[in-house]
Amino acid sequence: MSIEDRVETGDSAVHYDSSPEMFELLLDKNMNYSSGIYFTGDENLDLAQIQKMDRVAQICGFQEGQTLLDMGCGWSGPARYYAEHYKMNVIGYTLSPVQREFAMEKARERGIADRLDIRVCSVLDAELEPESVDHVIFFESIIHMWEKLDLFRMCHRALRPSGMLFVQESNYDRNSNTDKFRGDRGFQLVDEVFGNTATMVSTGEMIRLMEEAEFLPCYTENISNHYKRTLEQWCNRIDQHSDAMSAAEPEFFPDFRKYMMMALATYRQEGTVCHMTAGQKSPNDWALRNPLRF
Ligand SMILES: C[S@@+](CC[C@H](N)C(=O)[O-])C[C@H]1O[C@@H](n2cnc3c(N)ncnc32)[C@H](O)[C@@H]1O
């Protein structure tokens, strides 16, 4: 289906229902589809993604036996990593049955299927018991969702006292850019095809929404340079494996390639930033119980 046809039918699900084969050629070995973290800039994608997941675990204080909610879990790279290496019980939400099937097969291979519960369901319809989870993560998924405040309130109810809400996302660098970019035809086209720009907010607005949902914001870090490096490595892989990726997804690949190049170009200009932002449900003891060492 061409880019124009998908705009016509509003079919943006094709992005995440694409074959694992194409994404296996693009992503790291854990299949993380979000920014990594680099300490030197020379790390390969596998290491950068592990560093990101460990850093988030350190920021939030993940512990063995805790329950983690992964909202928009993709191919479940983070969900499987935390289930395997942190021995957490992870509930992941995705809209894609292809992603769930992939994730559960990998989990069975690693012997962690009993700690992983991947649900094909919109996070908006998630049924969560009050005070039933310890942490919630949104790794580059909340951009797809208009209902951020409702979701944050849902997370607040589902979290136990002192629970952490963690969001990693591409945001506008300032609130005043929101209308300017939302009106841009290029942004609208990407949104219609890939479903991920119209609902973008600024980092300030993301924090304001957390506060409105009763979270106490406790951590913010601008990781734009890390996301640019991740995008560069993804684009290099596209160049390296273009024939195989095209064979895996002949109709989608040309548009996908353009999309990735556009994303990298966006991160080479001003206007878009990638932030890690975390808030805590009261009682707010995050700063006291986390003598951070980084
Ligand atoms: C860019 S991917 C990020 C995947 C993952 N968090 C990671 O870091 O690898 C965005 C994911 O959000 C999911 N998503 C988008 N809207 C959703 C919704 N309403 N409910 C559940 N998942 C959603 C998509 O299916 C996709 O898996």
DSSP symbols for the chain: --HHHHHHHT--GGGTTS-HHHHHHHS-TT---S----SSS---HHHHHHHHHHHHHHHHT--TT-EEEEES-TT-HHHHHHHHHS--EEEEEES-HHHHHHHHHHHHHHT-GGGEEEEES-GGG----TT-EEEEEEES-GGG-S-HHHHHHHHHHHEEEEEEEEEEEEEESSTTHHHHHHT-HHHHHHHHHHS-STT--BHHHHHHHHHHTT-EEEEEEE-HHHHHHHHHHHHHHHHHTHHHHHHHSTTTHHHHHHHHHHHHHHHHSSSEEEEEEEEEPSS--HHHH-----
The pLDDT value recorded for residue 64 is 98
Q: Which atom of ligand 1 is nearest to the CA of 96?
A: 25
The pLDDT value recorded for residue 5 is 46
The pLDDT value recorded for residue 9 is 40
What spacing in Å lies between the alpha carbon of 173 and ligand 1's midpoint? 22
The pLDDT value recorded for residue 284 is 82
The pLDDT value recorded for residue 3 is 41
What spacing in Å lies between the alpha carbon of 74 and ligand 1's midpoint? 5
Residue among 55, 95, 121, 230 to mutate when testing ligand 1 (max atoms within 8 A of CB): 95
Name the superfamily (CATH) of residues 3-289.
Vaccinia Virus protein VP39 (3.40.50.150)
- Please give the average pLDDT of every successive group of 10 residues along the chain, which has 294 residues: 42 65 96 97 97 96 97 97 98 94 97 98 95 98 93 98 97 86 71 71 97 96 97 98 96 90 90 96 83 55
Q: Which atom of ligand 1 is nearest to the CA of 77?
A: 9
Kindly report the pTM of this predicted structure.
0.93
